A and B are shown apart, each in its own frame.
Chain A
């Protein structure tokens, strides 16, 4: 058993390195010159003093967007573990978090912290409502994952346009006051808000990990995730656990929406690309794995930023989906997921 585990670990690390390498080569795309420039970059990267500062900036930018992706993936994963389908509407809870924060903070002029807290609570409630109203009736029959996904899609489209009706299509922002200058770090710039994003993400991840691993509810979630029937046998009310998962996951989505809105704009379609990235990050990291969500999110953030450094920004989405399709076809269990069982016959 031991040697198998270390073998698996080595395999995973190798796979990660190879993927990053291939990504780099594909993006830069120039054969021998590529290899030369890669070696140059590594040299400069390791020698911190004379580092190519733009590389650090890209990496930091990647961490920032990656943290948001990871947070979305985290909430998504916690929900996925209990219901086992892709809750696409997670993206609209993310957007709702931002819009609610706007409504409370900017529009109603409630204190910043209370506004954000309220927004997160309402986002959590929204997620639970979606589950109760839409998914519960479907759970009564033996509904396939695909039907859940399509239904979730429908909810997403409905709510996204509802947000647009209520708040209008124009761009909104949570930013108030003058723009503070960023800190200089290894030749790159990072602002307070950006640091907040990365730190919040890591803290929330750690808290969730503690919750899942150490608390009674966390154990129950794992039980429902691994063996729903067995869980019921030992008296776990799976419906209640699912509700808790939706509440926590949606709260995380709302928080992510608020965090990103401190940095960029709020618009009705923000949830769409957000949830797509979240799903891609989850699959890359290994669907159902919490450390995988963190890894996948950061990986996707960094990969995207590396990508648009050389290619135009408009290709960002396409790059993410190419990565997704490659993973789906060749490593559907992601980096940290367990190899999926062959189809049961």
Chain B
């Protein structure tokens, strides 16, 4: 479903992404792993259109989206979260989610003055949808809170709810469990599994190889922008290159 071909991105002479190629198959859970600075978030930024690569292509469902602007890519079906959580802090949790929902005509400028019956119904439906999503991730009780008042774990869940509202074809989650308590980590992984069960595709970034072993079906390992390994968790466990990259890490 998602293909990345020969991606190359440099910053001031440093190769952030070096001739990277991989494919994400539909309805799979894939982990993009690597030590800090290995280029994982840069890959996300390129795929979601926020950065332009010097070389290479990004293909979504056989459509070349390499030079498409980020908001269009979001509309085409790539939903992403951010490493340091980008929420809308001074508006309510519910509004945060509603901003991900698609409106047929209700969010047009003209709709501000002429609310047809259809639009009013759409708004009501969207509020319901947003509430359902908040229930799904488990923070419905925070519905009217300002997003900035949420705890770290709740924020991560809110980001997930928001990206769910987008109804994307593929979820790009940047460090979804970073900084979470073990219980919330389990919740997050549980939600990711539920997403897979309902047919979604998930690619997520994680720097701790250990934690992805149980959940990922495929693992892609990056180091200094290069792909050094790709395979099932079992295969990765045995991979010498991977162990070398994680200098000094005990064997898995």
Contact = CB atoms under 8 A, between A and B. Distances in A.
Q: Answer yes or no: A and B touching, Cβ < 8 Å.
A: yes
Interface of A: 1, 342, 345
A345 to B, nearest CB: 5
B126 interface: no
Contacts of A1: 13
A86 to B, nearest CB: 25
B66 interface: no
Interface string B73-92: 00000000011000000000
A1 B51 CA distance: 24
Nearest to B80: A345
Interface of B is mostly: loop
Nearest to B52: A342
A147 to B, nearest CB: 15
Nearest to B42: A345
A342 B50 CA distance: 10
Interface in B12-56: 13, 41, 45, 50-51
Given A1-B13, A345-B50, 6 more contacts: A342-B51, A345-B41, A345-B45, A345-B51, A345-B82, A345-B83
Contacts of A342: 51
B43 to A, nearest CB: 12
Interface of A is mostly: loop
A345 B52 CA distance: 13
A13 B154 CA distance: 53
Contacts of A345: 41, 45, 50-51, 82-83
Contacts of B51: 342, 345
8 contacts: A1-B13, A342-B51, A345-B41, A345-B45, A345-B50, A345-B51, A345-B82, A345-B83
A1 B45 CA distance: 27
Nearest to A339: B12
A343 to B, nearest CB: 8
A50 B250 CA distance: 82
Contacts of B41: 345
Contacts of B50: 345
B129 to A, nearest CB: 28
A253 to B, nearest CB: 34
Nearest to B86: A345
A342 B53 CA distance: 13
A183 to B, nearest CB: 49
Contacts of B13: 1
A196 to B, nearest CB: 43
A345 B83 CA distance: 8
B205 to A, nearest CB: 13
A1 to B, nearest CB: 8
A342 B42 CA distance: 12
A98 to B, nearest CB: 43
B192 to A, nearest CB: 22
A345 B51 CA distance: 9
Nearest to A1: B13
Nearest to A342: B51
A1 B41 CA distance: 27
B125 to A, nearest CB: 33
A345 B85 CA distance: 10
Contacts of B82: 345
A345 B45 CA distance: 8
B166 to A, nearest CB: 18
A1 B13 CA distance: 9
Nearest to A338: B12
Contacts of B83: 345
A179 B50 CA distance: 62
A319 to B, nearest CB: 35
A345 B50 CA distance: 8
Contacts of B45: 345
